[in-house]
Chains A and B, each alone.
Chain A
Amino acid sequence: MAFTITCPVCGIRRGYEFRFGGEDKGPMPPEESLASETWCEYVHMNNCIAGIQKEWWFHRDGCGSWFTIYRDTTTNQQVENR
C-alpha cells in the first residue's frame, strides 16, 4: 500500500496505479529451433531474487506505458539502480 513507483512519464505515483509485469527476462527467444524446455523456462520460470531486481510495470491508471524499474524485493521499495 505504501509502495510508490516513479513512472518515467508521470513521476512518483502510488503503487496501486500500476500493474506488475514480471521480471525483466528480455525479449522472447526466436520460435525456430526453440526447445519446449527453453520456452517453458522463459515463459513460466522466474528468478525470484531476494534483493534488487529489474522488473516491468504498467501505468494502468495513468499514461498507459510499460517501463522497467529496479525494486528491492526485501523492502518493497523502488531503488535507483543496481
Chain B
Amino acid sequence: MKRLNQLPTFRIQYGKELSVNFGQKRCRGLEGDTIASALYANDVRIFGRSLKYHRPRGLYSLDGECSNTMMAVDGIPNVRAENTPAVDGMNIKAQNVFGKTPDFDMMRFMDELSWAMPAGFYYQTLHKPSRIWPLAIKHIRKAAGLGILSPDFHMRGKFDESYISTDVCVIGGGPAGMCAALSAADQGLRVVLLENRPWLGGYFEYRPREYQKGVPLYQRARELAESVGHTPNIRTFKNTAMIGSYHNNLITAFQRGNKSDIFTERYLEIRAGSVVVATGCIERPLLFENNERPGVMQIGCAHRLARNWGLLPGKRAAFSVGHDLGLEAAIDLADLGLDIACVADIRQDSYDSNLAAELEKRNIPFLPGWVAIRAHGSKTVNAVTLSSINATRRRKLSCDTVVASAGMTPVTGPVILPGGKLTYDNHTGFFLPATIPPQMHVAGRLLGLDDPFAIETSGLLAGLKAAADCGKPVENNLKEMAKNQATLPGPTRGTKLVTGPVKGKETFICFDEDCTLKNINQAMHRGFDVPELIKRFTSAGTGPGQGGIPGHNLPMYVAETGESPDRNPKPTTVRPPLVPVYLATYAGSNHDMSKRTPMHDSQVKAGGKMERIGVWNRARRFSSDTSARKEIENVRNNVGLLDGSTLGKFRIFGSDALKALQRVYVSDMSKVAEGKVKYSAMCNEDGCLMDDGIVVKIDENDYYMTASTGRAGQTIEWIRYHTRYDGWNFHMVNLTDAYGVINMAGPNARKVLEKVTDADVSNEAFPFAGYREFLIQNMPVRAMRLGFVGELSYELHVLSSYMQSIWDLLEITGKEFGIQKFGLEAQNILRMEKGHVIIGSESEQRTTIHDLGLGFLWYRNKPEAKTVGAFALKDTEHQKGRLKLVGFKMKESGTRVPKDGSPLVDSRIRGYVCTARYSWALKEPIGMALVDDDLCGEGTTLNIYEDGCKGKLLSAKVVSMPFYDPDGKQMRC
C-alpha cells in the first residue's frame, strides 16, 4: 500500500525502514510505525479472530481499546498492536485463529452457530446432568481465553519501578492537560504529566483545522508540547498509561520504554498534592449489524491513520457519525485523496454548518438524520446499508471502509476509582462526575468542551486550582481565569443514540466478549435488567478492553429500553488496572536484593556454595560433598572457622535498659555480670519462642546483645513495642552490619588464638561463658566462649572492616593446627549432635520454651517486670497435649536418614521430623522431632512416614539429648 506524501503531522520517518514478520508474511514498515500501522500498510486487514464466534476483526480505535488488535508478539500474548511500536524483526501472530492465517479460520462456522449460544449459555446448559460438566469444562477451556502463553516462555526485558512525589499530577497530555501542567508549573510547582501516546497533543495533534488564523491545531499542539518540554519543573512521561487512581492522590501508571530507555516497562507510583484529570474523550461506538467487521473503524482511527502514518484507510469510505469531528475528518480525508461515498450524521441539526458547506463544496453527499444499520462483506466490508433514523428510507452503498461513531464518551476512570460518582448529563449525553474526590480537578474535552480555546482555558483553570491545593496564593488568577472561561463556548450538545433501527443479532456491543445487542435483550428478558447484572450475565465489558467499547453504550441502551427498574442506569464499575499491564511490570525490578557479609568475596573464592537465607547470602559448604563430612570432622578433630556475621547485634543502653531487657527476656537479666555472657530467650505473649541470643554487660546501663539471623530486622521493633506504654529511657543501636562474627571452634581453637593475641586466653583466665575484650594485632575484638557446635570455641565479634584481616590472620596462623573453613551445613549437624535448636527448624509459632526443654531459662519471680510471655509460660508449664522436642535414632542400624519434615504416624499424625542427618561422630543417623507429649518418653518407637514411601514406614526410637558429649566437657575444656 502506498503511503501519502509527507505531511507535517507524520510520526513516521521516510527512509528509515524496518520489517516485521506477520506469520509467514514479511511486512515492511517505517520507523515510527506501530505494529498495527505497519501491518495495515502491508494490506493486513484481519488482525485476529473474535473470542466466541471467530469473527474476523481489524483496526477499530487505534488506541487499543478492544481486543481486536491484540496479537502475540515474540511469544508474548495479548500485546496491543495499536499501542506498541514496531521493532525490526518482530514476530507477530494473530490470535484465536485455527488455521494458518486469520483470513481463513477453521472455527468460523461458530459464527453460524451463534443462535445456539444465547447469553448465559454455559451457565444454563452444561451443568445438567452434572457429570457432563467436567467434560464441558475441558472443551470450554480449550476454546475460551485469548492468547496462548507457552509454559516454557521466558519473559525478557528489564522491568523497573519508580516512586514519584510531586505537587501536581496531570493525567492526559492533550491541550487541556498541557495547559494545566503549564499553569501549575508557572506557580513554581513540580508537575508530572502523563500521556498514553508516544507524543503530546491529544485531539489537537493530528487535525489541520484552524486554531487561529494561519495556525492549524496540530501546530498549536506542537507549540504547547514545546513549552512543556522547555519547562524544567514539568516532568513528562509519554508512552505512559494510567492504570490506577486511589485516595490521598495516589496515581499508578506504567511506562513503555523506548530504545534509549534502560527499561522495557516501568511501573510508576505517583503521590501528588493535587491531581488534574484531563483524560479527554474516546469515541462512543455506533452499533449496527456487523459493526466490527474489518473496514469499520472510528473517526480518530481513520483520521490518524492518514495524518500520523500516511495510510488512507481504504479506497472508498462511507461515514456514519454523530460528532463534528466526523465531518472534519471526512473533509480532510477527501482532500488527502480518499473517495467519500457519503457522510451520514445522526444529528438532524446542531452540526457545524460551515463543515456541511465544506462537504457540499467537495460534492460529498451529506445525510443528516441518517445512520448505518448494516455492514456487508464476509471478511472485510464491501458495502454498507444506511437508514434514516425513523427507518423509512434505506440505501446501500458500496465501499471498503465505514467510518462509524455515535459520539463521544468521557474517560472518567481516574475520577471514579477514588470514589467520584457519575451522573447522566442530558446536555452532553455524558456520564459526568457529579462528585470529585478532594484535591482532584477535571478539565478539557472530558467536560464536553469542543472549542479549542475553551479546552485550553479549562486546563489553565484546573492547573490554578491544583496550585491552590498546594497552597499557592492564586485567588485572583483563579477569578480572572474563571471569568475568561465564562466568555468561551461551554459544553456542546452531544448525541444520545446508541443504535439505528437494527435487529441486533450481529450488532456487537462488546467486541472482546462477542456480546451482541440480542444478548443484552436476552439478559433483560431473563430479568437481569440493570447494567451491573447484565454485565455479569452476558460478560459484556469484562474483556481486556476494560469496558472501553461497551462502557457507556450499555447503560444508555438499557435506559433507552425503558424496561430497567433503575431509572438512571449508570456505567458499570471500573477497576484498576484500567489498561492491560504485564504482570512483569507489576513485579518490577528483577534485581535480587540481598545482603553480603564482610567475608562474602573470599568465601566465594574459597569455593563456598552460597545460598540465600532470608536476606543474606551464606556459604552452605566448601566442597561438592553435600554431607560436609570433612568440614564436620575437622571441627571435631582440629579447628574450624565459620562466618557468623549474619547474627543480629545490638547495643542497648540508658538508665532503663535493664528494665527493657527484663521485659523481653525470660531470664533474670539483673544477673548479667561483667565478663560473663548470659544466654536467654525471648517469647511472645503466648510463651512461644521468638528469639534466643546472648547478652553481655559492657558497662553500667550499657549492654551488647545478639539476636538470631532471621530476627535481626525485628528486634528493635519488638523491644520498643513491648515497652511502648512505659516511656522508659533507653536507646538501641543496630550493630548487625557494623560487626562481623567469626566462630572459631575445635579442640585446637585456643592454640590458634594464643598465637595471635597477647591476652591470656587460657581456660582459667577466659573460661566457658566468659566475655573478654582484647586486641588482635591492634584490632579490637569482643570475644565470647560459647558452645553452639559443642567444641571449645571462641566467637569473635570484630568491626566489619577488620573482618577479612583477622580471618586471614587466623587462617594463616592456624594452618599448622589444621584450620579449615566450615559452612552452614556443617554447623547444622554439629549443633544437632549437641541438641541445640535453631528457631524455625525445631520450633514453630506454637512451640513454647517448655516444649523445647528450655524452661530452665525462665525466671518466674519477676512479675513486676511484666515479662512478655511470662503469664502464658506459667499457664502452659504442665499443659497436656503439646508437641515436645525429642531426639531420636533409627531402630535398626543401617537405616537411611529420614527426610526433614516427614510426619510421624500411628493411626494418625503424631508429630514430625524437624531435622535429621547422618552423624559422623556417632556413625549413625540422628534427628530431632516434635512429637505428641505421650510419645516423648525415652525408648518410645516413632514411625516415620516419608513422601512416596508406599506404606513402608521407617522406625526410630526416642533417645536422650545431647547425642554428642552429653556432659559438655569438650566445650568447657
Contact = CB atoms under 8 A, between A and B. Distances in A.
Given A31-B863, A32-B863, A43-B686, 12 more contacts: A1-B269, A2-B246, A2-B248, A2-B250, A3-B248, A4-B248, A21-B724, A26-B725, A30-B866, A36-B875, A39-B872, A64-B716
A2 B686 contact: no
B247 interface: yes
Interface in B856-892: 863, 866, 870-872, 875
A34 B871 contact: yes
Nearest to A42: B685
Interface string A52-66: 000010101000111
Contacts of A75: 247
B967 interface: no
A21 B248 contact: no
Given A14-B271, A19-B717, A27 B725 contact: yes
Contacts of B870: 31
Interface string B237-256: 00000000011101010000
B415 to A, nearest CB: 15
A77 interface: yes
Nearest to A67: B724
Contact of A64 (B163, B271, B720): B720
Contacts of A48: none
Given A3-B248, A65-B720, A31 B271 contact: no
Contact of B685 (A34, A43, A56): A43
A28 interface: yes
Contacts of B115: none
B721 interface: yes
Contact of B871 (A3, A19, A26, A39): A39
10 contacts: A2-B248, A4-B271, A19-B717, A21-B721, A27-B726, A30-B863, A31-B866, A39-B875, A43-B685, A60-B717
Interface string A69-82: 00000011100000
B810 to A, nearest CB: 35
B863 A77 contact: no
- When A and B form their complex, which 9 residue pairs have the shortest distance between CB atoms, in order from nearest? A2-B246, A2-B250, A27-B725, A31-B863, A66-B724, A43-B685, A2-B248, A4-B248, A2-B247
B866 A28 contact: yes
Interface in B267-315: 269, 271
A58 B720 contact: yes
A66 B246 CA distance: 26
Contacts of B724: 21, 56, 66
A62 to B, nearest CB: 12
User: Of residues B248, B271, B720, which shows the largest number of chain A Cβ atoms within 10 Å of its Cβ?
Assistant: B248
Contacts of A64: 716-717, 720
A1 B863 CA distance: 41
Interface of A: 1-4, 14, 19, 21, 26-28, 30-32, 34, 36, 39, 43, 56, 58, 60, 64-66, 75-77
A77 B247 contact: yes
B264 to A, nearest CB: 23
A77 B248 contact: yes
A64 B716 CA distance: 8
Contacts of A60: 717
A70 to B, nearest CB: 16
A1 B246 contact: yes
B250 A1 contact: yes
Contacts of A27: 725-726
A29 to B, nearest CB: 9
Nearest to B165: A14
Contacts of B720: 58, 64-66
Contacts of A32: 863
Contacts of A19: 717
B871 A58 contact: no
Nearest to A3: B248
Nearest to B723: A66
A31 B247 contact: no
A8 B645 CA distance: 34
Nearest to B875: A36
A31 B269 CA distance: 47
Contacts of B246: 1-2
User: Of residues A14, A32, A77, which shows the largest number of chain B Cβ atoms within 10 Å of its Cβ?
Assistant: A14
Contacts of B716: 64
Contacts of B248: 2-4, 77
Contacts of A36: 875
Contacts of A28: 866
A77 to B, nearest CB: 7
Nearest to A22: B721
A65 B246 CA distance: 27
Nearest to B725: A27
Nearest to A78: B248
A31 B861 CA distance: 11
Contacts of B875: 36, 39
A27 B248 CA distance: 32
Contacts of A30: 863, 866
Interface in B706-720: 716-717, 720
A21 to B, nearest CB: 6
Interface string B711-755: 000001100110011100000000000000000000000000000
Nearest to A28: B866
A3 B725 CA distance: 26
A4 B717 CA distance: 20
Contacts of B863: 30-32
A61 to B, nearest CB: 11
A52 B685 CA distance: 27
